[in-house]
Chain A
Amino acid sequence: MLLVRRDKTPFGVAARLIESLEQRGDRVLVRLSSGVLSAEEVLGFVPMEQPVPPGRVLRCFWPESCHGLTVADGLPVVVIDPDRPPRALVTKEEEG
């Protein structure tokens, strides 16, 4: 799983979903078949632990979808659903 940081928070992307990674200025673009995500920093690749589904409380207070939650390197991680990534990570930029 690729760990990236966006707005201070770690997000995880299953490595098999990644088509390319590109540093562009102060951003990292993560290209998936379903779109391009923008992050501030690559934290590394870590083993993919089985994520747990987001609970009722989180769904109540956070109106975004995700594949699940996990912990990697002591950090809480939101594992991205490639078909419905958090809007804050989605970018219109294309690879150059």
Chain B
Amino acid sequence: MSLEAHNDSNLRCLVVQAGQYRCAIPVERVRRVVRALRVFPLPASRPELLGLAEFSGEPLAVLDLAQLVNAPPGAAPAFPVTVVAWAGPWAAREAVGLAADAALDVIEVAAGSWAEGTGGIVRGDIAAEGTVVRLVDLEAIGSNG
């Protein structure tokens, strides 16, 4: 489902830590949150791609969420996670892993309350929990080279 579908309705989001940023991922895009999967790097890949992992018996491409949103590096995570999520247009969605430093919370984002983002997969910024949270648009992942 695209974010435009939520212009008139609230959006529930999973908040994760990615480097020094907090990112909000619409829960309808989240398939599961698991302890960080073991990732096997692919030679000559772009830096955002950490590699491949096995998830539920299937191969899964795992991306570095911090790199995707251009977050400055944070402290070494104590309990890193992989968010298994749906990327791409909803009608042609595919599962990807998003490596993050921690899963923090689930928040409700008021319709249309996000300010214009920085482009790429950051759709906008939300003021939540006393800080700025980047709203991640997973529809944009894989839509450009």
Give the distance in Å from the alpha carbon of A7 to the alpha carbon of B44 in the complex: 11
Chain A residue with minimal CB distance to B88?
Answer: A56
Q: Which residues of the partner chain A approach B41 to less than 8 Å between Cβ atoms?
A: 7-9
For the residues of A in contact with B, the DSSP-based class is: mixed
Interface range, B side: 20 to 34
Nearest CB of B to A88, in Å: 4
Per a CB cutoff under 8 Å, which of B40, B58, B63, B96 touches A9?
A: B40
Question: Given A58-B61, A60-B145, A74–B42 Cβ distance below 8 Å?
Answer: no
B46 touches A62 (CB 8 A): yes
Render A48-74 as a binary contact track against B, CB cut-off 8 A, 1 for contact: 000010011111111110000111001
- Interface pairs (8), CB distance under 8 Å: A7-B43, A9-B40, A60-B141, A63-B44, A63-B45, A63-B46, A69-B52, A76-B54
Sample of 16 more A-B contacts, CB < 8 Å, known A63-B44, A88-B43: A7-B41, A9-B52, A55-B61, A55-B142, A56-B142, A57-B63, A60-B143, A61-B45, A61-B49, A62-B61, A63-B46, A69-B59, A75-B40, A86-B43, A88-B44, A89-B43
